[in-house]
Amino acid sequence: MKSIIFIAPPAAGKGTQSKLISKKYNIPHISIGDLLRYSINSEDESSKKINEYMEKGLLVSDDIILNLLKNRLKQQDCISGYILDGFPRNVNQAKEYDKLLEKLDKDLGLVILLDIDKEILKNRIVGRLSCNKCGSVYNELIKETKPKNVGLCDKCNLKLSKRIDDNEETFEMRYNTYLKETEPLINYYDDKGCLYRVNANINADLIFKEIQSIIGSSI
Ligand code: AMP
């Protein structure tokens, strides 16, 4: 199984697709945003800085990210492939990742671009809620994915929480960061011949079908 990188603006569905791929192909889903959130310990200074950057929708420093990733990729479950959700986020990270792959004697794999309209993203972000216990994600503004009872997880019946960076102001910031820092990766990977474009304006099941056919054609 090849590893998979997602390039996508905030809330394009890379987390959802990563979970589906992880389950079907039995490879780990590595979410850099989650690794950052777990690594934050409110007491120390560097955590405060990370938190501040995340709240503002800015990118955390490349050194911190690369360190987290290196440690994660050393783990046994990454041997036969993995999904990178949220990395690389800029060209420097992509170049550093190329060097790391060379050291680890691993292939780059597939790079999947989730192409989606900005207005759809804004609604997804502003209404997004998730369950801290089981990880289920809902949206209070979208009929199909509303929780059955307002503010409560359908599975655990516990109160759903909102990410600190899921608001309109931070969305604009995160989207602009995407355009400025992450979008240049499209040309970077297109030039290497490993970029696949997927229309992500459709529902998650159809997107997943499209991704499965890309994976199938590359095996
Ligand atoms: P995500 O969960 O992927 O939406 O990421 C949430 C936030 O974590 C981003 O807005 C950034 O502040 C930070 N972050 C996640 N991945 C990276 C990365 N590769 N480089 C720098 N910052 C990141």
pLDDT tens-place string over residues 3-35: 999 999 988 999 999 999 999 999 999 999 989
Short-list 97, 114, 115, CA closest to 106: 97
Q: SS3 sequence, 158-178?
A: CECECCCCCCHHHHHHHHHHH
| Residue 137 belongs to some domain of the structure | no
The candidate with the shortest Cα–Cα distance to 100, out of 3, 210, 198, is 3
**Structural domain includes residue 129:** no
Q: Containing domain of residue 112, as a range?
A: 4-117+182-214
Structural contact between residues 154 and 129, judged by C-beta atoms closer than 8 angstroms: no
Q: What is the pLDDT of residues 37-62, one digit of tens each?
A: 888 876 777 888 888 888 888 899 99
Q: Is 39 inside any structural domain?
A: yes
Q: Is 174 a catalytic residue?
A: yes
Gap from CA of 102 to ligand 1 centroid (Å): 24
Whether 57 is in the pocket of ligand 1, judged by its Cβ within 6 Å, is yes
**CATH number for the domain including 40?**
3.40.50.300
Number of domains comprising the chain = 1
Q: pTM of the full predicted structure?
A: 0.85
Sheet holding 29-31, edge to edge: 29-31, 83-85, 4-7, 110-115, 195-199
Q: Which atom of ligand 1 is nearest to the CA of 89?
A: 19
Nearest-angstrom CA–CA distance, 169 and 173: 7
Indicate whether residue 53 lines ligand 1 (CB < 6 A): yes
Residue 123 lies in a domain: no
Where is 140: in which H helix or E strand? none
Mean pLDDT for the stretch of residues 194-216: 95
Report the alpha-carbon distance of residue 95 to residue 98 in Å, rounded: 5
Q: Is residue 86 part of a domain?
A: yes
Q: Counting Cβ atoms within 10 Å, is residue 137 exposed (0-12), middle (13-18) or buried (19+)?
A: middle
Q: Is 128 assigned a catalytic role?
A: yes
Look at residue 75 and tell me if it is in a domain: yes
